[in-house]
Amino acid sequence: MEKVEQFELSKEYLEKLQQAIKEMDDVFILNTLEGINPADISTILLEFSTDESKYVLDVLDYEVSAEVINDLDEDTRAKFLKNFKNKEISLMLNELDSDDAVDIINELPLKDREEVIALIENKEKAKNILDLLRYEEDVAGGLMAKELVKANVNWSVRQCIEEIRRQAENVEKIYSVYVVDDQNILLGRVSLKRIILAEDHVKVKDLYDDEVIAVETYMDEVDVAEIMRKYDLDAVPVVNVQGKLMGRITIDDIVDVITELAEEERQMMAGISEDVEEDDSVWMLTRARLPWLIIGMFGGLLGAQFIGVFEEDILLVPAMAFFIPLITATGGNVGIQSSSIVLQSLANKSVFDDSFLKRITKVLLVALLNGIVIAGIVMGMNLILGQEMRLALVVSLALFTVVLLASFMGTVTPLVLDRFGINPALAAGPFITTANDLLGLLVYFSVAHLLYYG
Q: Tell me the per-residue pLDDT of 197-228, one tens digit each, with 9 for 90 and over.
A: 999 889 999 999 999 999 999 999 989 998 99
Q: Where are the domains of the chain?
A: 11-137, 150-260, 282-453
DSSP-derived secondary structure for 290-327: HHHHHHHHHHHHHHHHHHHHTHHHHHH-GGGGGGHHHH
In this predicted structure, the answer to whether residue 4 has a pLDDT above a threshold of 50 is: no
| CATH code of the region 11-137 | 1.25.60.10
In this predicted structure, the answer to whether residue 433 has a pLDDT above a threshold of 80 is: no
In terms of Cα–Cα distance, which of 335, 320, 340, 337 is closest to 441?
Answer: 320
Residue 256 near residue 167, CB atoms below 8 Å: no
CATH architecture of 282-453: Orthogonal Bundle (1.10)
Residue 7 DSSP label: P
Cα–Cα distances (Å) from 247 to 184, 209, 214, 272, in that order, read 11, 18, 10, 36
Position 454 scores a pLDDT of: 57
Q: Could you please state the CATH topology (level 3) that the domain comprising 150-260 is classified under.
A: CBS-domain (3.10.580)
Q: Which of 1-15, 66-80, 263-277, 426-440 has the highest mean pLDDT?
A: 66-80
Position 257 scores a pLDDT of: 83
Cα–Cα distances (Å) from 121 to 67, 93, 95, 116, 217, in that order, read 18, 10, 10, 10, 27
Query: Stretch 405-423: mean pLDDT, rounded?
Result: 79
Residue 175 near residue 212, CB atoms below 8 Å: no
Confidence of residue 276 (pLDDT cuts 50, 70, 90): low
**What count of other Cβ atoms lies within 10 Å of the Cβ of residue 148?**
22
313 vs 449: CA distance, rounded Å? 7
Of 129-138, 185-194, 331-340, which gets the smallest average pLDDT? 331-340
280 vs 126: CA distance, rounded Å? 33
Confidence of residue 242 (pLDDT cuts 50, 70, 90): very high
Size of the chain, expressed as the number of residues it contains? 454
In terms of Cα–Cα distance, which of 11, 12, 65 is closest to 36?
Answer: 65
Supply φ then ψ for residue 265, to 5 degrees: -70, -35
Residue 51 DSSP label: H
**Higher pLDDT, residue 382 or 352:** 382
**Higher pLDDT, residue 164 or 168:** 164
Cα–Cα distances (Å) from 299 to 96, 203, 306, 322, 446, in that order, read 50, 71, 11, 20, 18
**Under the phi-then-psi rule, with left for phi > 0, alpha for psi from -120 to 50, and beta for the rest, what region is 271?**
left
Of 147-156, 220-229, 305-314, 349-358, which gets the smallest average pLDDT? 349-358
In this predicted structure, the answer to whether residue 109 has a pLDDT above a threshold of 70 is: yes
In terms of Cα–Cα distance, which of 245, 161, 150, 148 is closest to 202?
Answer: 161
425 vs 311: CA distance, rounded Å? 36
Of 90-94, 97-101, 248-252, 254-258, which gets the smallest average pLDDT? 254-258
DSSP-derived secondary structure for 153-167: TT-BHHHHHHHHHHH
Of 90-104, 244-258, 294-308, which gets the smallest average pLDDT? 294-308
Position 111 scores a pLDDT of: 83
Confidence of residue 241 (pLDDT cuts 50, 70, 90): very high
SS3 (DSSP) at 216 = strand
380 vs 396: CA distance, rounded Å? 9
In terms of Cα–Cα distance, which of 85, 89, 84, 48 is closest to 66?
Answer: 89
Position 348 scores a pLDDT of: 62
All residues at 6 or more sequence positions from 104 whose CB lies less than 8 Å from its CB, including other chains:
69, 70, 77, 81, 89, 92, 93, 96
**Higher pLDDT, residue 300 or 11:** 11
3-state SS of the chain: helix, strand, coil percent to 5?
Answer: 65, 5, 25
179 vs 149: CA distance, rounded Å? 9
Starting at the edge strand found earlier in the chain, the sheet holding 235-239 runs 215-216, 235-239, 245-250
What pLDDT digit, counting tens, does each position of 28-75 carry?
988 888 888 888 888 888 888 888 888 898 898 888 888 998 888 877
Q: Do 150-260 and 282-453 have matching folds? A: no
What pLDDT digit, counting tens, does each position of 334-360 carry?
887 787 777 767 666 554 455 667 777
Of 217-226, 279-288, 372-381, which gets the smallest average pLDDT? 279-288
Q: Which helix (H) or strand (E) holds 197?
A: helix 192-197
196 vs 286: CA distance, rounded Å? 59
In this predicted structure, the answer to whether residue 14 has a pLDDT above a threshold of 90 is: no
Q: Would you call 432 exposed, middle or buried from its count of C-beta atoms within 10 A (0-12, 13-18, 19+)?
A: buried
Residue 98 near residue 147, CB atoms below 8 Å: yes
**Packing angle, helices 38-45 and 62-71, rounded to 10:** 70
In terms of Cα–Cα distance, which of 128, 127, 174 is closest to 151?
Answer: 174
For the chain, give the mean pLDDT. Answer: 82
